[in-house]
Amino acid sequence: MRVTELSAALAARRAAGLYRHRHVLDSPQGAEVVVDGRRVVNFCSNDYLGLANHPEVVAAWRRGAEAYGVGSGASHLVCGHLRPHHALEEELAAFTGRDRALVFSTGYQANLGVIGALVTRGGRVFEDRLNHASLLDGARLAGARLRRYPHGDLKVLERWLSRGEEALIATDAVFSMDGDLAPLPQLAELARRHDAWLHVDDAHGFGVLGETGAGTLSHFGLDQTQVPVLMATLGKALGVFGAFVAGSDDLIEWLLQSARTYIYTTALPPALAEAARAARRLVQDEDWRRRHLQALTARFRRGAERFGLPLLPSPTPIQPLIVGDNARALRWSRRLLERGYWVAPIRPPTVPAGSARLRITLSAAHSEEQVDGLLAALAELAA
Ligand code: PMP
């Protein structure tokens, strides 16, 4: 676009119902937040276990800052790899049952880094059509030949794999805007048969799924020989920030040597790593959070069914309500906020055209009454 075209481009976005807005919070994350000066019930964060403001996590952050200061001072390979980062990596490896883990500053960077390190320029990358933007961007940045298969369509994927060239398959474990699970056991089998990498992004399953909260691979009983690359984030169920990749010794060593988004960026603040360690322990120890979250998810789905609300078949705390039209998604979100419920409208290009939705996310911090209140407000809107 030309410099003089910018205002018109913004106006066009607004006219299409695609304008994005930020709201300012004057409180910590939690079941209730203060937004635009009002206290409302929050159904749009990824703080699935309610740990973002947990006193033990906050205390660990404070202690970490007192012991290690606020900045890591450099990238990991120069002199920014502090004891808290190292301890966090060891604990994440043990928790996910993998040889080693490598902490990245964000999940976005982790996905870019892995794909760039494992795929040669012009190599093939196959991705589910509903994958997160960072997986798509990873393939683009790597100069890969990217092809996106229809959501969950393993027949198409198998046809592409059978051409025999080197390939990497990347998939969300829990699809971030739909809440459903990828068919990981079948994907693992396909990848093994075709000697292809399988890179699983468990941003939304880590902490939430699996007996101990170790994530979607643990839920399916898949180990590192079946799924060589596990990426998960620390900013969702763990309530903090950052991400990691876990896998074999060789994989982690290769990433440490060659993942550009690991090498050329400042390491996370060490205090943040201390907070993530505390949150990780809580994920494992306070399993009542996962049980409560599962019970709320079931309650929400039963209620939605009773009111005839069109839900997607999601077994996770991500419960999207498809409204189709962009303007209607915006309108409904505004009306819910007026009634005291904050739910994000999700529109293209984040989701396919014509499938604008209210992305409702449940958290262990919510009460049954809050979920029932949201259901009643949704039913009123849909009537
Ligand atoms: N993958 C998925 C599936 C995500 O939802 C997100 C966060 N929106 C990311 C990766 C990126 O993680 P981060 O926010 O740590 O950059």
* pLDDT tens-place string over residues 263-280: 999 999 999 999 999 999
**161-184: b (≥16 Cβ within 10 Å) or e:** beeeeebbbbbbbbbbbbbbbbbb
Question: In the annotation, is 355 catalytic?
Answer: no
Q: Domain ranges in the chain?
A: 18-49+287-382, 55-285
Q: Is 151 exposed, middle or buried (0-12, 13-18, 19+ CB in 10 A)?
A: middle
Q: What is the average pLDDT across 322-346?
A: 93
Domain over 18-49+287-382 is classified CATH 3.90.1150.10: yes
Q: Residue 153: its pLDDT value, please?
A: 98
What is the pLDDT confidence band of residue 195, given thresholds at 50, 70 and 90?
very high
Ligand 1 pocket check for 201: Cβ under 6 Å: yes
**Please, which residues have CB within 8 angstroms of residue 81's CB and are 6 or more apart in sequence?**
72, 267
Residue 45 Cα to ligand 1 middle (Å): 13
Query: Of 13-22, 90-99, 141-150, 243-252, where does mean pLDDT reach its minimum?
Result: 13-22
**Model ipTM?**
0.99
What is the pLDDT confidence band of residue 382, given thresholds at 50, 70 and 90?
confident
Ligand 1 pocket check for 243: Cβ under 6 Å: yes
- The residue nearest atom 9 of ligand 1, judged by CA position, is 107
Ligand 1 pocket check for 108: Cβ under 6 Å: yes
Residue found under tokens 């949150």: 279
Residue found under tokens 């699935």: 48
Q: What is the average pLDDT across 68-86?
A: 98
Dihedrals φ, ψ of 113, to 5°?
-65, -45
Dihedrals φ, ψ of 288, to 5°?
-60, -25
Q: What is the average pLDDT across 136-149?
A: 98
**Residues in the annotated binding site for substrate:** 20, 132, 350
Ligand 1 pocket check for 131: Cβ under 6 Å: no
Is the per-residue pLDDT at 220 higher than 90? yes
Per-residue DSSP letter, 105: S
Is the per-residue pLDDT at 209 higher than 90? yes
Q: What is the average pLDDT across 284-296?
A: 97
Is the per-residue pLDDT at 18 higher than 90? no
Task: Choose which residue among 45, 132, 202 to substitute to test ligand 1 binding: the one with the highest number of ligand atoms within 8 A of its C-beta.
Answer: 132
Q: Residue 20: its pLDDT value, please?
A: 85
Q: Residue 164: its pLDDT value, please?
A: 80
Q: What is the mean pLDDT of the chain?
A: 96
Question: In the annotation, is 204 catalytic?
Answer: yes
Q: Residue 36: its pLDDT value, please?
A: 87
The residue that leads in pLDDT, 14 or 86, is 86
Is the per-residue pLDDT at 17 higher than 80? no
Residue 171 Cα to ligand 1 middle (Å): 12
Residue 203 Cα to ligand 1 middle (Å): 6
What is the pLDDT confidence band of residue 95, given thresholds at 50, 70 and 90?
very high
Q: What is the average pLDDT across 310-326?
A: 93
pLDDT digits (tens, 9 = 90+) for 255-267: 999 999 999 999 9
Q: What is the average pLDDT across 123-139?
A: 97
Determine the 3-state secondary structure of 289 from DSSP: helix
Q: Residue 19: its pLDDT value, please?
A: 83
Is the per-residue pLDDT at 16 higher than 90? no
Q: What is the average pLDDT across 6-27?
A: 91
- For 55-285, the fitting CATH number among 3.90.180.10, 3.40.190.10, 3.40.640.10, 3.30.379.10 is 3.40.640.10
Q: In what order do the strands lie in the sheet with 100-104?
A: 100-104, 243-247, 229-233, 197-201, 167-172, 124-128, 145-149
| Largest pairwise CA distance in the chain | 60
Q: Residue 97: its pLDDT value, please?
A: 98
pLDDT digits (tens, 9 = 90+) for 57-73: 999 999 999 999 999 99
Question: In the annotation, is 236 catalytic?
Answer: yes
Is the per-residue pLDDT at 376 higher than 80? yes
3-state helix, strand, coil in the chain (%, to 5): 45, 20, 40
First to last CA, the chain: 43
